[in-house]
Structure 1
Amino acid sequence: MNEFLYQASIYLAAAVIAVPLSARLGLGSVLGYLAAGIAIGPVLGLVGAETESLQHVAEFGVVMMLFLIGLELEPRALWDMRDKLLGLGGLQVGLSTVAIAAVAFYTGQPWSVSLAVGLTLSLSSTAIVLQTLSEKGLMQTNGGRATFSVLLTQDIAVIPILAFLPLLALPASIHIEDDGSIQRASDAAHGADHHAALSLVEGLPGWAVTLVTIGAVAFVVLAGIYLTRPLFRFIHATRLREMYTALALMIVVGISFLMTLVGLSPALGAFLAGVVLASSEFRHEMESDLEPFKGLLLGLFFITVGAGIDVGYFFADPFDLIGLALLVILAKGIILFIVGRAFNLRGRDHWLFTLGLAQAGEFGFVLLAFSTQQNVIPPGLSQKLLMIIALTMLITPLLFILYDLLSRFARDSKPQIEPDQIDERGPVIIAGIGRFGQIVNRLVQASGFKTVVLDHDIETIQLMRRFGVKGFLGDPTRPELLRAAGIEKATVLVVAMDDYKQVTRLVGYARRQRPDLHIIARARDRNHVYELYQAGANDIIREMFDASLRAGRYVLENIGLSEYEAAQAEQTFYHHDRASVRELAELWIPGMPTAENKKYIERARKLQKDLETALLELAEEHAKKSA
C-alpha cells in the first residue's frame, strides 16, 4: 500500500505542477503531461518498472475517448462522411504506407517487414491530436473537421490492418532474434506457451485469425444493438446512480478484453460499440459517466509515454533516432500537404491538417506488439520503432506551436472575393447580418423602412439572398465601403458584428465622420459597453441582457408573483440598469482591473442598494393594492 501511495503521489504531483505551467505558457496540456513523465522517469528516476504495466491501464483513456467519439457519430453520420473517410483518410493511409514501406525496403528490410512498418507508422495519434484540437477550439474549423475525418479513418483502418498483419508473418518454424539471426521456433518456444491462455488466435493460421477477428467485431455490433438496451433498462429499474457508471465501465472494459483476446485494438472495439449505441436513449448518461475517467486516464497515458522513454537506448544513438523521427514527420507531412491541397484545403486549415497529423500514434504501440507476437517484425526493429513513435508524439505539440506561428501569416481558406458594388442607399445601415443583425433587419424592413446590409461573410450573404434579403459583401470597417453604403446621409447605423474589437473600431470611426449619426451597437459584455459609450455609441445592447432579463421575469412569475408584478419588476430593473451603466461608464478606466477601481466599486455597490430599495418599494406598493 505504501508503494502504491508513493507512486500515485509522484504521478499526481508531476501532473499538477507541469500541466498548468505548460498551459499557462501556451504549450497545451499534452506537452505538459509528456514533460511530467520525462521528469519523473528518465530524468529524476522517481518511477521505474511499474510504468509499462501502468501504461496498459492508462490506455483505457484512449479506449474511452474512442467510445465517446463513437457515441457522437450515428451510422447515418458516418455514411454522410464517406467521401472524406474514403478520400482524405484513405489516401493518407495508403500513400503514407507506400512511402514509408519504400524507405524501409530501401534500407534492406524484407518486403513483408517493410509493409508492416509502413502500416504501423501511417497512423497518427488520435489521443494527442483530438485533445489539442479541443483545447485550441479548432475542432469545428474546416481543417479540424478534415483532421478528424482522417483520424476516424485511421481508427477504423486498424481493424483490417490487424486482420491483415498475420498474413505477413514468417513461417511458424522461423523466429528472428534481436541481432537478426534466425532460430527455429522449437528453440524459442519454451517461454511462449503462457500467451495462449489469454488469446483466442494464438497458434491459428492466418485465415483462421481473420475469421475469428471478423466474428469478434460482429459480436460487438450485435451485442450493442440487442443486449445493451435491456441491460440499461434493468439497471434503470434499480434507481441506483452508481450502477449506471458500473455498467458503462463494464461495457468498455468488457469490449476491450474481448478485442485483446483476438489481437485487436481495444479502442477500435469501443469505437464500434459507441457508434452502435449513438442512437440509444442512454447515450448521454454514458457520456456523463465516462467523461471524468477519460480525462484522468488520458493524462496518465501521456505521462507514462514520457516516463517510458528508454534514455539509455536513446543516447546510444540519439541523432539516428531523432533523424528517423523527423524523416517520418517529413514524409507524412509532404503526403498530407498534397492530399490536403487535392481536397481544396487552403491557408491555416491546410497547415493544421498537414502539421496536426504528421506524427505516428499510440495505435503504433499496439500494432508493433501484435506484429512482434505474430513474428512479422523482429524484436530489435520493434524497439527502435517504439522509440521513433514516442519521439514523434513528443514533437507533436511543437508542430502545433509551429501551426500557431504559420496561421498568423496564412490566409483564411475561404475564397478571396472582391467587395460588391453597392447600388442602393437607405436611412439604416446594418453592419453584420448574423443572428443579431438578422432580427434587427427583419423588424425594420417589415415596418416599411429600407436598409443597407453589409457583411464580410460570403456564405451568410448568399444565404440571406435565398430568403429574398439583399446584402452586400465587404468588410464594414472599411471607410470606402461605408461611404458607398451612404454613411454621409444615413440616419441610423446598427453595428451588429461578432468581433467586439471591430465593433468598437467601427463605432469610433462612424462617430468621427458623423457626429449627428445615431449609432446602435452590439456589446459583448459590460466592459465592452463602457468602451462603446466612450467610442460614441448612442444605444448599446448587450448580447445576453434582454434574454436574461426575460428569463428572470419568468422565474418571478413561477415563484409567486403575478404576470403584472413580474413585468413591473422587469421594467424597474431594466431602467435602473440602463441608467447605472451610463453612470458607471464615466468612472470606468480602460486597462485598469475593475477590482482596483475603488470609485467604480463604491458607486456600483450604492447603485445595487438603490435597485434593491426600488424593488422592495415596488413589492410593498403591490401588496397594499392587493390588500
Structure 2
Amino acid sequence: MLVILVSFAFGFGLALTRIGLPPMVGFLVAGFAFNMAGLTPPPGLDLVADLGITLLLFSIGLKLDVRGLLKPEIWLSSTAQMAVTTLFFHLVLLLGQLLFPSPLMDMSWQATLVLAFALSFSSTVFAVKILEEKGDLTAFYGRIAIGILIMQDLFAVLFLSASAGKLPSIWALGVLALPLLRPVLFRLMDMAGRGELFILCGLFIALGVGAEGFSLIGLKPDLGALVVGVLIAGHPRASELSKALFGFKELMLVGFFLSIGMEGLPTLGMFTAAVLLCLLLPFKAGIYHFIVSRFGMRARSSLFSALSLTNYSEFGLIVAAIAAGQNLISPDWLLVIAMAVSLSFAVSAPLGKNSERVHRYMFPWLTRFERDFCHPSDAPIDLTSIRAIVFGMGRIGSGAYDELTPVYGREVCGVEHAPERVDFNRAQGRNVILGDACDTEFWLKLQRDDKLELIILAMPNHHGNMYAAKQIHNLNFQCSVAAIARFPEEVEELSAIGVCTALNMYEQAGAGLARSVMQSCSLKV
C-alpha cells in the first residue's frame, strides 16, 4: 500500500508541476484520488505528517528574530486581522444560512462563530513553502507574513486549551526558564560534530526537547519545536542545522499534504460549499492588505504579504474536528474545510508565483491605501553618490572593501544581510548597510546614480551571487561587476550572464598563499 501511495504522490505531483502548480497541490490531489479509489492509508501516515509540521516550525524558529514579534506591525496587525476576518466570515455564514437552507447550514450562531474563527487562519506550511521557493523567506514582507502566522499559532494554542476546558499544567510556567537551557543545547550542538550525529542532535532537540517537552506540560507540541528553534537560533551552526534537516522536513511534509486529502469522500453539496468559501479568498486578502498597509508598508509589500496568506489553514480541520466532537457542527464540515484548504492552495499557488504581475496590474488602485509615512524597513535604500558596492561583508568581502577604500574613500559601501556582521563592520569603521541581495525588494528599493562604477559580489553562496548578477543585468546597471566562485563551472555561469570578472577563490587563495610565502621567505625562482 505504501508503494501505491508513493506512486500516487509522485504521479500527481509531477503532473501538476507540468502546468505550473507547485508539487504540494499535486500531493493534495493525490490524497483525494487515493481516498476515492477506496484504498486504505498506510499506518503511520498521520505520524509522518505531524513530524513534517513539527520540523517545519523548528526550522522557522532557527531563522526567527523573536524581537520582531513584539513590533506593532506583527502583534497588532495579526490581532486586528483575526478579529476582523472572524467577524467577516461569521456574517457570511449567517447570510449563507438564509440564502442556502440545507442540513449542512443548520447550526447555531456559536457554531458559525467557531467556523469563522477557523477560516480566519492561514496555512503556515503552505506560506513557508511558497516563500522558500521564491527565496523571499527573509524579505521584509516575508518576515511580516511569518510573524503573523506565528501569532496565529499562539492564538491556536489558546483556543485548543479553552476548547478542551482545561488550562495547561502548572509545569507550563517552566517555559519561562527555558533560556537557562540554552547553554546546554549549544554544548550539545558543539559536541555533535558533523554528519549523521549532528542531524540526530537536531532531531533530538526538535522532537525530544521541544515537541515532547511541551506536550508533557499540556502545551502544543508544534509550539515547543518552534520555541526551541528560536532558543538555539543564535548558535553559529543554526543555519547548517536547518539545511541538514531540510530533506527530512520536505519528505515528511509530503505525508501531511497527502493526509489532508484523505479525510473522506465529498458530496456535490460539500464541494459547492468549499468552492463558495474559496470565492471569498479575495476578501480575506483585502483584509490582510488593508490592515498591514496601516503600518506604513508600501503597496507592493502589503500585497505580497497578503498573497502569501491568501489561503485557508490546516488548523481549520482541527477546529472543525473539535466543534464536531462537541456536536456544534455536522461532521460533514470536516470534509468541506479539507476541500476548502486544498482548493485554496490551488488558488493561492499561482497568485504567489505571479505576484509581480498581479502587483503591476493592481498598482494604481493599491497606492490609494498607502500611508503618508513609510515603514523604516520598507523605505527606499539610498546609494546615490556611491561609486563601489561590495555585497557580502564576510572575510572576503571585508578584505575587498579595505582594498577599495584607498581608491574610493567613503564612496564605497558594503551590503550585508546579517545584522551582527553589519554591527561588526561598522565598529571597524566601514560604511555598511543592512540588506539582502537575494531579496527582490532590495533591488526595487535601491536608489543609485550614474556615479556607480563597480560592484563586487562576495557572498559565499553561489546562488546568491547568481541571483544578484541577474538583477544587476535586468535593471541595466552601467558598471563593472566582479564575483567570486568556488568551482570552474560557477565561474562559467557568472561569466555567461555578464559578470566581467569571475574569480575562483580557491585558485586565487592558492596563488596568494604562494606569493606570500615567496615574499616572506625571500625565495627566488
Does residue 446 of structure 1 match 2:434?
Answer: no
Paired residues of 2:198 and 2:241 also in contact (CA < 8 A): no
User: Out of 289, 312, 315, which is 1:363 matched to?
Assistant: 315
For residues 316-465 of structure 1, the aligned pairs below 5 Å read 316-327=269-280, 329-407=281-359, 409=361, 430=387, 446-447=406-407
Aligned in 2, Cα 1:549/1:241: closer, same or farther, shift over 3 Å? closer
Aligned in 2, Cα 1:253/1:297: closer, same or farther, shift over 3 Å? farther
Letter of the 1:342 counterpart: R
Aligned to 1:81: 69
Aligned in 2, Cα 1:394/1:418: closer, same or farther, shift over 3 Å? closer
Does residue 526 of structure 1 match 2:492?
Answer: yes
Does residue 266 of structure 1 match 2:221?
Answer: yes
Q: Deviations over 1:181-220 (max 9, x none)?
A: xxxxxxxxxxxxxxxxxxxxxxxxx3xx12xx25364456
Q: Deviations over 1:531-573 (max 9, x none)?
A: 769xxxxxx422x44x33333347x76xxx99229999xxxxx
Does residue 159 of structure 1 match 2:157?
Answer: yes
Letter of the 1:320 counterpart: A
Aligned in 2, Cα 1:314/1:567: closer, same or farther, shift over 3 Å? farther
Paired residues of 1:61 and 1:296 also in contact (CA < 8 A): yes
SS at match of 1:50: coil
Aligned in 2, Cα 1:122/1:262: closer, same or farther, shift over 3 Å? farther
CA distance in 2 between counterparts of 1:384 and 1:390 reads: 10
Aligned to 1:536: none
Q: Deviations over 1:305-325 (max 9, x none)?
A: 23x2645x2424533331123
CA distance in 1 between counterparts of 2:88 and 2:475 reads: 51
Q: Deviations over 1:503-542 (max 9, x none)?
A: 59969xx8xxxxxxxx855368436547769xxxxxx422
Aligned to 2:517: 563
Does residue 116 of structure 1 match 2:105?
Answer: no
Aligned in 2, Cα 1:481/1:244: closer, same or farther, shift over 3 Å? closer
CA distance in 2 between counterparts of 1:453 and 1:563 reads: 31
Aligned in 2, Cα 1:384/1:552: closer, same or farther, shift over 3 Å? same
Q: Deviations over 1:469-528 (max 9, x none)?
A: 8xxxx99xx9x965xx6xxxxxx9546695457559969xx8xxxxxxxx8553684365
Q: Deviations over 1:304-354 (max 9, x none)?
A: 323x2645x242453333112322x23321211211221233343222211
Aligned to 2:135: 137
Paired residues of 1:444 and 1:451 also in contact (CA < 8 A): no
User: Out of 237, 241, 247, which is 1:292 matched to?
Assistant: 247
Paired residues of 1:248 and 1:286 also in contact (CA < 8 A): no
Unmatched 5+ residue regions in structure 2?
A: 98-106, 368-373, 415-422, 432-442, 458-467, 485-490
Aligned to 1:550: 508
Unmatched 5+ residue regions in structure 1?
A: 1-6, 167-205, 423-428, 456-462, 486-491, 511-518, 534-539, 569-620
CA distance in 2 between counterparts of 1:290 and 1:297 reads: 11
Aligned in 2, Cα 1:138/1:255: closer, same or farther, shift over 3 Å? closer
Aligned to 2:92: 103
What is the deviation of 1:56? 4.6
Aligned to 1:573: none
User: Out of 48, 52, 68, which is 1:61 matched to?
Assistant: 52
Letter of the 1:526 counterpart: E
Aligned in 2, Cα 1:259/1:442: closer, same or farther, shift over 3 Å? closer
Aligned in 2, Cα 1:219/1:370: closer, same or farther, shift over 3 Å? farther
SS at match of 2:279: helix
CA distance in 2 between counterparts of 1:25 and 1:222 reads: 50
CA distance in 1 between counterparts of 2:137 and 2:62 reads: 17
Paired residues of 2:192 and 2:201 also in contact (CA < 8 A): no
Aligned in 2, Cα 1:267/1:228: closer, same or farther, shift over 3 Å? farther
What is the deviation of 1:34? 2.4
Letter of the 1:267 counterpart: D
What is the deviation of 1:153? 0.8
What is the deviation of 1:289? 6.3
Which one has a bigger Cα radius of gyration? Answer: 1
Paired residues of 1:30 and 1:397 also in contact (CA < 8 A): no
For residues 145-184 of structure 1, the aligned pairs below 5 Å read 145-166=143-164
Letter of the 1:145 counterpart: R
What is the deviation of 1:441? 8.4
Letter of the 1:93 counterpart: M
Aligned to 1:541: 501
TM-score, length of structure 2 as denominator length = 0.69
Aligned in 2, Cα 1:23/1:380: closer, same or farther, shift over 3 Å? closer
TM-score, length of structure 1 as denominator length = 0.59
CA distance in 2 between counterparts of 1:267 and 1:246 reads: 18
Aligned in 2, Cα 1:532/1:146: closer, same or farther, shift over 3 Å? closer
Aligned to 2:41: 50
Letter of the 1:55 counterpart: D
SS at match of 1:81: helix
Q: How many residues align?
A: 465
CA distance in 2 between counterparts of 1:258 and 1:451 reads: 52
Paired residues of 1:88 and 1:150 also in contact (CA < 8 A): yes
SS at match of 2:297: coil
CA-atom RMSD in angstroms: 5.3
CA distance in 1 between counterparts of 2:216 and 2:18 reads: 42
